[in-house]
Amino acid sequence: MDADDPLLRILACPLDKGPLTLLSEQNILYNPRLQLSYPIVDGIPQLLPSSGSRVTEDDHATYLRAAAE
């Protein structure tokens, strides 16, 4: 999945229904509001609520910096 993929405009977090940020280096979709990451496996986003992983404060800061670049 790449940043220009039109699918990114319609994908949403299954919990708060808000937009997700693609972090291609980490191969995840990230929800900074809930600090949850969702894996992308073989190009397919895993967006079940149980697939979300809570991230640490350090990872959250790293992901925010990566998203701003």
Residue 27 CA from chain centroid, whole number: 8
pLDDT digits (tens), the chain, 69 positions: 676 777 888 999 999 999 999 999 999 999 999 999 999 999 899 999 999 999 999 999 999 999 988
Q: How many CA atoms lie within 13 A of 39 on its CB side?
A: 5
Residues near 58 by Cβ (< 8 Å), separated by ≥ 6? none
Instruction: Give this prediction's pTM.
Output: 0.89
The pLDDT value recorded for residue 7 is 80
Beta strands in 1-69 (DSSP E): 21-23, 28-31, 36-41, 44-45, 53-54
Domains assigned to the chain: 6-68 (2.20.25.10)
> CB–CB of 20/29 below 8 Å?
yes
